[in-house]
Structure 1
Amino acid sequence: MTSRLPLAIAATAGTCALALGVTAPALATDASDNQDKGMVSVFHGVPGLTVDVYANGDELLSDFKPGTVTAPQSLDAGTYDIQVFEAGKGPDGTPAIAKKIEVPAGANATVAAHLAADGRPELTAFVNDVSNVPAGEARLTVRHVAAAPAVDVRAGGQPVFKGLENPKEATTEVEAGTLSADVVLAGTDTVAIGPADLNLKEGTSNVVYAWGSADDKNLALKTQTLTGMESAPNAVHAGGNGAALAVNSSDQWLAWAAVGAVSLTVAGVLTARQLAGRRG
């Protein structure tokens, strides 16, 4: 894979949007000017490229490896100039990716660097649903960010999400507990990923990324879990914004404090009702 990623994208997702555009002259964010916050995580889903990440000239992530996701960071709302270098090549070289990221107040989002369906690297911003989850339930979201055709996501051999395309997502709320799932090519029984066992805890929002490349036979799953969305009577919120993260993640955002981490295990029986469909 080439070390230069030709990413040029402006992504907006819902009212809590992350605007990602071509790099502009540095626009530093002064915390004293705006005390409002946004929560931002980053998922690295481009196989074969370890990177260093800089924001406004400061190194925030070093040796950031594919298949990892950062803990969510509380950032002052404003504009951040992001530069991504092949590991060890910054900050004086030419970045592999250079973007201006606008963090709006109140946003909770994950920025995914991943492959498009045709294998081109790209950047997509997803808004994380951190609204309350009904008592006894958990939220499950699947995001297709792999170089692969449309897929179905199954539980117990039965499709739960059908025809999911890159870079879309599908969401449902399910009974808290265990879930055994796999990913198959849409309309077939050909398993592309899995099966994997998920333990979906009450009051959590669990985001599963299907990433990698079908041609290179390195398709994989990565799970990001946000907590603190329980409904009464067991509601215990983490600052009201679903800030705690459960992942096997890099926690090297040196300049921004991580909010928390717990681990996600996997297992079970999917029940219940479909609440939300596909991200356009």
Structure 2
Amino acid sequence: MRRFLAVCTATAVVALPLALSTPAAAADDASVVVVHGVPDLTVDVYGSADATYTAEEALLQDFAPGTVTDPVALPGGTYNLAVFPAGADPSGDPAIEATGVEVPAGANISVVAHLNAEGTPVLTPFVNDVDPVAAGQGRLVVRHNAAAPAVDVLAGGEAVFSGLTNPNEDSADLPAGTVSAAVALAGTTDPVIGPADVDVKEGVSTIVYAWGSAEDDNLALAVQTIDGLHSSPSGVPSGTADLPLDRTPWALAGVALLAALAAAGMGLQAKRTRA
């Protein structure tokens, strides 16, 4: 049960218990994205003002592995949530529930639900580097979130990031253009993921997540982008995602709650090595 609760915490994308509108981004809003990198686990998410949940209150259903939520700007506040296995009766006991959780303001965070090197589901929050890049350049960030040993990231058959271990990241500011990248076990050149073309755009941070399990032969990539880095941002940087969510914007705002849980329970991790 402890393992299952950890998984549900890590993969929860939750809605606010209050019907919030989406205000213009403010400088002290939190910007939060959730990446689902736990294979074979799908969840339903509910929000409620009184901590009771019904099927009609499902705010996100069938949140599946390999997807990235849209970023959301959310003022700090206090919120409730509940997470159930996909299709479970929400009138029962939730797999995990949190009430009265304080959401921190001002952070730009990606929260990744993934397997650690041993294959155990874990939650890793990353603080995103949103410092400006030089004219004509973009930022490439690679994050190792797979159940796999250390890896090298290859470009043109040569290692550009070496010995990257789970759950760490490496990054470099590069001239804008298309990079053909692959992931190989450290010290080898035989790709275990890719090669795949990665579009590095000017003024954009392109974040590539390696997720899945080498043992189960389901390694894959997910991509997040953060734009507005070509100059000092006027607000919270936005991004794009592989999975557009068609729910109302206020439902998406609850992803910031997951970051609050991570920060309260684990301490926020910012593991950054600049190439």
Give the TM bin, normalised by the shorter chain.
Answer: 0.7 to 0.9
Q: Give the alignment partner of residue 235 of structure 2, picking from 231, 240, 262.
A: 240
1:40 has 2:32 as partner:
yes
d(CA) in 2 for partners of 1:94, 1:215:
33
* CA deviation after TM superposition for structure 1 residue 165, in Å: 0.8
Residue type at the aligned position of 1:240:
G
Higher helix share goes to which structure?
2
Q: In structure 2, what is the equivalent of residue 53 of structure 1?
A: 45
Aligned with 1:242: secondary structure?
A: coil
**Cα gap change, 1:183 to 1:71, in 2 (>3 Å):** same
Distance in 2 between residues matched to 1:60 and 1:75, nearest whole Å: 17
Once the two structures are superposed, residues 29-76 of structure 1 have per-residue CA deviations (whole angstroms, 9 ceiling, x without a partner) of: 998xxx842111111111111111234556442211110010001112
Give the 3 Å change call, closer, same or farther, for CA 90–105 of structure 1 in structure 2.
farther
Q: What residue number does 2:104 align with? A: 104
1:277 and 2:269 correspond:
no
* Equivalent-residue separation in structure 1 for 2:171 and 2:96 (angstroms): 30
Q: Which amino acid aligns with 1:208?
A: V
Pair 1:118–1:250, CA change in 2 (3 A): farther
The superposition leaves residues 130-151 of structure 1 with CA deviations (integer Å, 9 ceiling, x where unpaired) of: 2211110001111111111111
1:192 pairs with 2:188: no
CA distance in 2, matches of 1:93, 1:164: 42
Residues 98 and 59 (structure 1 numbering): CA distance in 2 closer, same or farther, change over 3 Å? same
Distance 2:249 2:3 in 1: 25
The answer for the alignment partner of 2:131 in structure 1 is 131
Distance 1:94 1:112, change over 3 A: farther
- Change in 2 beyond 3 A, CA 1:151/1:253: farther
Query: Per chain length, whose mean CA-contact separation is higher, i.e. which structure has more relative contact order (CA < 8 Å, sep 6+)?
Result: 2
Tell me, yes or no, if the aligned pair for 2:153 and 2:162 is still in contact at 8 Å. Answer: yes
Distance 1:147 1:99 in 2: 28
Distance apart, 1:258 and its partner CA? 6.5
Q: What is the TM-score when the length of structure 1 is the normalising length?
A: 0.74
1:158 equivalent to 2:158? Answer yes
Q: CA RMSD in A?
A: 3.1
Residue type matched to 1:241 in 2?
A: V
Percent identity over the alignment is: 53
Change (3 A) 1:115 1:175: same
Provide TM-score, normalisation by structure 2. Answer: 0.75
Unpaired segments of 5 or more residues in structure 2?
A: 11-15, 21-25, 52-56, 254-271
Residue 254 of structure 1: aligned partner: 248
The letter for the 1-side match of 2:236 is: N
Structure 2 distance, partners of 1:98, 1:50, is 17
Q: Distance in 2 between matches of 1:121 and 1:230?
A: 36
